[in-house]
């Protein structure tokens, strides 16, 4: 199971929200590069970098953070938050990100996303399925659609999408455990799904449960920042 620490950015700073609420923001570090280097020094190879300003504005805001982390670390970065234009996807990949993270565009503008998959390759995207009460949420979780999670994922897997992560918004940032039953259901409904879990992870026991359920990866945020999980404790999950 791939361990993927998260760095969420607001105003160029490393923050965490609770349940996607921009009003429940906590700043953990003024320097995201410092955090990324700590992850790299611990032997971690992946990074989930999210431009929360971009997600809210529907346009990337924190280009400088992406450039700095890609140029000064060897981490395999996936970057998203407000990717709505083809030029921005190209810029993300040209800057050195391994994957472009998308969510809202795949829900709201399916034809455009299909064009991106054709142009850049489906393997270059990390598709985020954010869920509220079983329905897809978009635009930084500020809007809930009427589209069900299973149908959404099935449609995109058919287009060749390989990398998928799912966040239950009700769990995110609360350190009360991941949406294990949701992931088990998705993995049962969609054979072959390579699913990365996100949200609610509070300790190593959650990682063990996700691995046992068949998740291929886990995005970890607040549990690291609140010292519920030490970076040295993640060694047993690293290849």
Residues with catalytic roles: 8, 130
Identify which of 131, 186, 185, 127 has the alpha carbon closest to the alpha carbon of residue 160. Answer: 127
Long-range pairs for 155-161 at CB < 8 Å and ≥24 separation?
156/106, 156/127, 157/190, 157/192, 157/193, 159/114, 159/117, 159/122, 160/117, 160/122, 160/123, 161/117, 161/122, 161/125, 161/127
Identify which of 179, 180, 163 has the alpha carbon closest to the alpha carbon of residue 79. Answer: 163
**Which pair of tokens denotes residue 90?**
């190209």
Given a contact cutoff of 8 angstroms between Cβ atoms, the answer to whether 18 and 174 are in contact is: yes
Identify which of 77, 124, 119, 81 has the alpha carbon closest to the alpha carbon of residue 96. Answer: 77
Other Cβ atoms closer than 10 A to 122 = 17
**Rounded (5°) CA angle 176-35-49:** 70
Tell me the sheet residues that pair with 217.
Answer: 2, 196
């Amino acid at each position: 199971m791939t361990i993927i620490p998260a760095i969420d950015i607001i105003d160029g700073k490393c923050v965490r929200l609770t349940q996607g609420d921009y009003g429940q923001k906590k700043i953990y570090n003024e320097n995201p590069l410092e955090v990324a280097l700590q992850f790299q020094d611990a032997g971690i190879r992946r990074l989930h970098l999210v431009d929360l300003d971009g997600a809210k504005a529907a346009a990337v805001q924190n280009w400088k953070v992406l450039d700095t982390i890609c140029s000064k670390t060897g981490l395999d970065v996936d970057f998203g938050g407000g990717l709505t234009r083809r030029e921005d996807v190209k810029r993300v990949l040209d800057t050195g990100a391994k994957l472009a993270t998308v969510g809202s565009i795949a829900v709201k503008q399916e034809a455009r996303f299909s064009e991106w998959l054709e142009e850049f390759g489906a393997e270059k995207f990390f598709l985020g399925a954010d869920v509220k009460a079983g329905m897809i949420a978009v635009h930084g979780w500020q809007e809930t659609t009427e589209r069900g999670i299973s149908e959404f994922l099935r449609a995109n897997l058919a287009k060749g999408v390989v990398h998928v992560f799912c966040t239950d918004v009700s769990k995110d940032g609360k350190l009360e455990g991941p949406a294990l039953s949701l992931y088990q259901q998705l993995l049962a409904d969609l054979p072959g799904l390579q699913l990365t879990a996100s949200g609610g992870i509070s300790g190593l026991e959650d990682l063990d449960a996700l691995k046992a359920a068949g998740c291929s990866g886990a995005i970890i945020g607040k549990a690291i920042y609140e010292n519920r999980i030490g970076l040295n404790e993640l060694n047993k999950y690293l290849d």
